[in-house]
Chain A
Amino acid sequence: MNTTGFKRFRKAISKYWMLYLMVAPGLCYLLINNYMPMAGLTVAFKQYNAQKGIWGSNFVGLKNFEFLFKTKDAWTITRNTLGYNALFIVFGTVLAVAVAILLNEVRSDSARKIYQTVTLIPFMISMVVVSYLVYAFLATDTGFINNSILKPLGFDAVSWYSDSKPWPVILVIVNLWKGFGYSSIIYYATLVGINREYYEAAVIDGANRLQQIRYVSLPGLKSTIITLTLLNVGRIFYSDFGLFYQVPMNQGALFDVTNTIDTYVFRGLMQTNNIGMSSAAGFYQSLVGFVLVLAANAVVRKVSPEDALY
Chain B
Amino acid sequence: MVEAKKGFQIVFHIAFILLSLACLLPFALLIISSITEETALIRYGYTFFPKEFSFDAYKYLLVDSTAILRGYGISIMTTVIGTVANLTLTTLLAYPLSRKDLPGRNTIAFVVFFTMLFNGGLVPSYMMWTQTFHIKNTFAALIVPNLMMGAFYVIMMRTYFTANVPDAVIEAARIDGAGEGRILLRIVLPMSIPIVATLALLVGLQYWNDWLNGLYYVNNDNLFSIQVLLYKMLMSAEFLKSSASTALPMGITLPSTGIRMAVAVLGSLPMLIVYPFFQRYFVKGIVIGAVKG
Binding site for B on A (CB under 8 A): 8, 12, 16, 18-20, 22-23, 25-27, 29-30, 32-41, 43-44, 53-54, 99, 102-103, 105-107, 111, 113-122, 124-129, 131-133, 135-137, 139, 141-144, 146-148, 161, 177, 181, 185-186, 188-190, 192-193, 209, 224, 227, 234, 241-242, 246, 249-251, 262, 265-266, 269-270, 275, 278-279, 282-283, 285-286, 289-290, 293-294, 310
A128 touches which of B93, B124, B230, B272 (Cβ 8 Å): B230
- The majority secondary structure among interface residues of chain A is helix
B:95-131 near A, CB below 8 Å: 95-97, 99, 102-104, 108, 111-113, 115, 117-128, 131
B146 lies within 8 A of chain A by Cβ: yes
A111 touches which of B13, B154, B205, B287 (Cβ 8 Å): B13
Q: Are A144 and B128 in contact (CB under 8 A)?
A: no
Residues of chain B lying within 8 A (CB to CB) of residue A116: 279, 283
Residues of chain B lying within 8 A (CB to CB) of residue A290: 117-118
Q: Are A25 and B92 in contact (CB under 8 A)?
A: yes
Residues of chain A lying within 8 A (CB to CB) of residue B118: 38, 286, 289-290
**Contact A286/B121 with A26-B92, A129-B230, A144-B45 known, Cβ cut-off 8 Å:** yes
How distant is B290 from chain A, measured CB to nearest CB, in Å? 6
Residues of chain B lying within 8 A (CB to CB) of residue A107: 9
A269 touches which of B44, B122, B210, B290 (Cβ 8 Å): B122
Q: Are B124 and A282 in contact (CB under 8 A)?
A: yes
Q: Are A132 and B234 in contact (CB under 8 A)?
A: yes
Residues of chain A lying within 8 A (CB to CB) of residue B58: none
Interface residues on B, range: 35 or more
How distant is A292 from chain B, measured CB to nearest CB, in Å? 10
Residues of chain A lying within 8 A (CB to CB) of residue B99: 19
**Which residue of B is nearest A36, CB measured?**
B128
Residue from the set A53, A120, A132 with the largest chain B CB neighbour count within 10 Å: A132
Q: Are B89 and A279 in contact (CB under 8 A)?
A: no
Q: Mark each residue of chain B from 55 to 90: 1 if its CB lies under 8 Å from any CB of chain A, else 0.
A: 000000000000000000000000000000000011
Beyond the given pairs A53-B131, A105-B8, 8 more chain A to chain B contacts, judged by CB atoms under 8 angstroms and listed by A's residue number, are: A20-B96, A36-B120, A53-B127, A115-B20, A128-B211, A128-B230, A177-B22, A290-B118
Q: List 5 A-B contacts (CB under 8 A).
A: A19-B95, A22-B181, A23-B92, A33-B145, A144-B29
Residues of chain A lying within 8 A (CB to CB) of residue B29: 133, 136-137, 144
Q: Are A119 and B267 in contact (CB under 8 A)?
A: no
B276 lies within 8 A of chain A by Cβ: yes
B268 touches which of A12, A16, A129 (Cβ 8 Å): A129
Residues of chain A lying within 8 A (CB to CB) of residue B145: 33
Binding stretch for chain A, among B160-168, B243-251, B257-265: B257-265
**Which residue of A is nearest B182, CB measured?**
A18
Expressed in whole angstroms, the Cα–Cα distance for A115 and B21 within the complex equals: 10
**Contact A37/B120 with A137-B26, A142-B42, A185-B282 known, Cβ cut-off 8 Å:** yes
Residues of chain A lying within 8 A (CB to CB) of residue B47: 144, 147-148
How distant is A250 from chain B, measured CB to nearest CB, in Å? 7
**Which residue of A is nearest B89, CB measured?**
A26
B281 lies within 8 A of chain A by Cβ: no
Q: Are A30 and B211 in contact (CB under 8 A)?
A: no
Residues of chain B lying within 8 A (CB to CB) of residue A143: 45-46
Residues of chain B lying within 8 A (CB to CB) of residue A37: 119-121, 124-125, 128
B112 touches which of A30, A115, A192 (Cβ 8 Å): A30
B24 lies within 8 A of chain A by Cβ: yes
A132 touches which of B120, B148, B264 (Cβ 8 Å): B264
Expressed in whole angstroms, the Cα–Cα distance for A109 and B205 within the complex equals: 26
Q: Mark each residue of chain B from 206 to 227: 1 if its CB lies under 8 Å from any CB of chain A, else 0.
A: 0011111000100000000001
B35 lies within 8 A of chain A by Cβ: no
Expressed in whole angstroms, the Cα–Cα distance for A200 and B286 within the complex equals: 27
Residues of chain B lying within 8 A (CB to CB) of residue A33: 125, 144-146, 148-149
B197 lies within 8 A of chain A by Cβ: no
A137 touches which of B46, B120, B125, B268 (Cβ 8 Å): B46
Q: Are A148 and B45 in contact (CB under 8 A)?
A: yes
Expressed in whole angstroms, the Cα–Cα distance for A244 and B38 within the complex equals: 30
Residues of chain A lying within 8 A (CB to CB) of residue B9: 105-107
How distant is A233 from chain B, measured CB to nearest CB, in Å? 13
**Which residue of B is nearest A234, CB measured?**
B117
Q: Are B42 and A124 in contact (CB under 8 A)?
A: no
Expressed in whole angstroms, the Cα–Cα distance for A79 and B271 within the complex equals: 35
Report the 6 A-B pairs with minimum CB-CB distance, sorted nearest first. Answer: A40-B124, A37-B120, A26-B93, A147-B45, A126-B209, A189-B287
B180 lies within 8 A of chain A by Cβ: yes
**Contact A34/B115 with A132-B30, A246-B231 known, Cβ cut-off 8 Å:** yes
Residues of chain B lying within 8 A (CB to CB) of residue A127: 209, 211
A18 touches which of B48, B179, B210 (Cβ 8 Å): B179
